[in-house]
Amino acid sequence: MGSTIILKVRICQKPLKTLFHLGSSAFFTQKTSPYKSLQLAPSARFLCTRDSNPGGREINRRYSGQGGTKKNTIRQREEESWDDAVKGRGKAATLRQRPSFPKSVFAAGTAKRTTEILRRKAVLVSWDEEQPVKEPKERPTRGTAIVFYAHTAPFRYRSLLTFVAMETGTLSYELLLRYLTLCVSGGHDAEVFDVYDIMRGSFPSLDTGASSLFIKSFSRTERWREAISILHDLEKIFTPSPRNYGDVISAAMVHGDAATAWALYDELIEKGLSPHEETWDALFKGVRRTEGEVTSQPEQQERLLEILLYMRNNQVYPQHSLASSIKTWFESLAGQKWTGSWTSATSKGVCGCCGTELESIQLTAEEYQRLKDRVMTDIIQGRDVFNKTTPEDKSKLSETLLAVVSELERQETHYDKELYDPFLLYATLYSGNHCWFVSRDLMRDHKASLPDGATRRLFFKWQRGHQLVVDGYVTAGRRVRFLGIPSYDTIVQTSADSWHLPYDDTHDRSTYEIPQRWLCLTKNH
């Protein structure tokens, strides 16, 4: 184990708050704009900089020889993986076999799992070629470190600020902002109130960073209403972030002020901002916290159901924690007898819990026409010629293409031999809703060319229902297999007595992938 040296500096121990009470003139020689770059005195820079010391030498937080140990550990694991592969045991033994791909290229986690398979395969190849692992040129040098702990900020950094103030006669905006950050992250809200008074009295305005920190800190205290004033002050200069709104909305719900919470939520939506999941979670939990007083009001129920429709229209997949809050809220509705269950859909698009048939992945005639027009305008006509063509296939790719086309011919499937992406999309769309296309390309660049989120979501839905992707590798003389195309849409769905919410139960889902798990909510009679 390495050691950490805490550099102790003898500084004035007079409480900072006492000096604060002497008035701003005791510290600030002039009004300073927070947007102007300020330089601290050498002594102040030494005390508040984590990565350097007065002599200019680099300070290492850890000076043990752990770098070499970690490298040796990695090398040892790679050797064990190689031994397992040679001897035919362990997971490594299967890496040279055909990898196991999921049923759909759009399934959550597919990209990460595929990358991991290829990475492991690359490791074995490098060992097979007897490529030595490079050792580090030199071990980290020993040094000293200044270690700061956010949870002890008031005890350590009051002395720091006092020292700087006594030495320089002023405190810079940047130094106070650093101190504020430590106090907020450490939960020292009482200290934040003092810093707020100092900064508001000494600077003409606050930047978005300081304002956001004050909003976060005030929102978790009894002074949460002051966060609303800070939020509205920020609105005069910048558009507050969804996080800013979310902090105050959560505070309002915690303190039972649902009217204020929903008013701020409406502001957030009107500004075109996307709420964070924590904001939705606070709204669902906050309504329950009122012990039925608000839950009994139909308008409040409608507002929460609007959130689910927002998720549907914007193809939002809630995390499991938010889905749990939604489930609990439904089940708490007095006299309505809702039951929630965690489930999945069958390959035919039927809920595995209640047996409801989920919505089809196929577009309506109106949606299909709108998408076709947009692809023609924004992808075919709106792209550079070099993005519309593909270089000649190499021999290996040509063999793969021939095998795929031969399989499609065997299945008596109509196809277009001009497999160039933009024109492929054009040909598929203009051939009708029954036409499929074959490509490994997930078309992310083309989807990004579309003008708005609604059209991009429409494209993604059409793509999932019409794109055939080769399953695994193509081998000469063997039949080509394709990944399955889902028959149902993965989106929030509702009927008279049910809701079905696809939720995200993994942290490795890429943006172009969809969840595989569902929350089934049914109303009993």
Provide the CATH number for the domain around residue 170. Answer: 1.25.40.10
pLDDT of residue 9: 30
Mean pLDDT of the 281-296 span: 66
Paired sense of beta strands 467-468 and 493-495, if any: unpaired
Residue that has been written with the tokens 């929903």 in this structure: 262
Give the count of domains, the chain: 2
The mean per-residue pLDDT over the stretch 423-437 comes to: 87
pLDDT for 364: 93
Residue 509 scores a pLDDT above 50? yes
Q: Which of 401-405, 441-445, 459-463 has the lowest mean pLDDT?
A: 401-405
SS3 sequence of 209-277:
HHHHHHHHHHHCCCCCHHHHHHHHHHHCCCCCCHHHHHHHHHHHHHCCCHHHHHHHHHHHHHCCCCCCH
Q: What is the mean pLDDT of residues 118-142?
A: 54
> Do residues 261 and 249 lie in contact, with contact meaning Cβ atoms separated by under 8 Å?
yes
- The CA distance from 66 to 68, in Å, is 5
Answer yes or no: do 176 and 278 share one domain. Answer: yes
Q: How far is CA 86 from the centre of its chain?
A: 40
Of the three residues 237, 254, 286, the one that is the final residue of a domain is: 286
Does residue 394 belong to any structural domain of this protein?
Answer: yes
Return the pLDDT at 281: 97
Domain annotation covers residue 150: no
Least confident of 285-294, 349-358, 367-376: 285-294
Backbone angles phi, psi at 343, to 5 degrees: -155, -170
The span from the CA of 184 to the CA of 190, in Å, is: 10
- Which of 228, 251, 286 terminates a domain? The answer is 286
CB neighbours (10 Å) of residue 443?
20
Identify the band that residue 60 occupies on the pLDDT scale cut at 50, 70 and 90.
very low
Does pLDDT of 483 surpass 70?
yes
Q: CB of 344 within 8 A of CB of 517?
A: yes
**Is residue 175 domain-shared with residue 279, that is, in the same domain?**
yes
Q: Is 96 within 8 Å of 85 (Cβ atoms)?
A: yes
**How far apart are the C-alpha atoms of 229 and 276, rounded to whole Å?**
21
Range of the domain at 249: 155-286
Asked if the structure places residue 447 within a domain, the reply is yes
Q: What pLDDT was estimated at residue 79? A: 43
> How many CA atoms does the CB half-sphere of 12 hold within 13 Å?
13
Question: For residue 419, what pLDDT band results from cuts at 50, 70 and 90?
Answer: very low
The Cα 222–Cα 450 span in angstroms is 47
Shared domain for 275 and 373, answered yes or no, is: no
By three-state DSSP, how is residue 450 classified? coil
Q: Which amino acid is at 149?
A: Y
Number of Cβ within a 10 Å radius of residue 149? 11
Closest CA to 2 of 149, 140, 146, 152: 140
Task: Tell which of 268, 286, 304 closes a domain.
Answer: 286
* Average pLDDT of the residues in 268-273: 95
Does one domain contain both 263 and 371?
Answer: no
Least confident range of 26-35, 146-155, 303-312: 26-35
Residue 321: inside a domain: no
218 part of a folded domain:
yes
Q: How confident is the model at residue 456 (pLDDT cuts 50, 70, 90)?
A: very high
DSSP state of 91: G
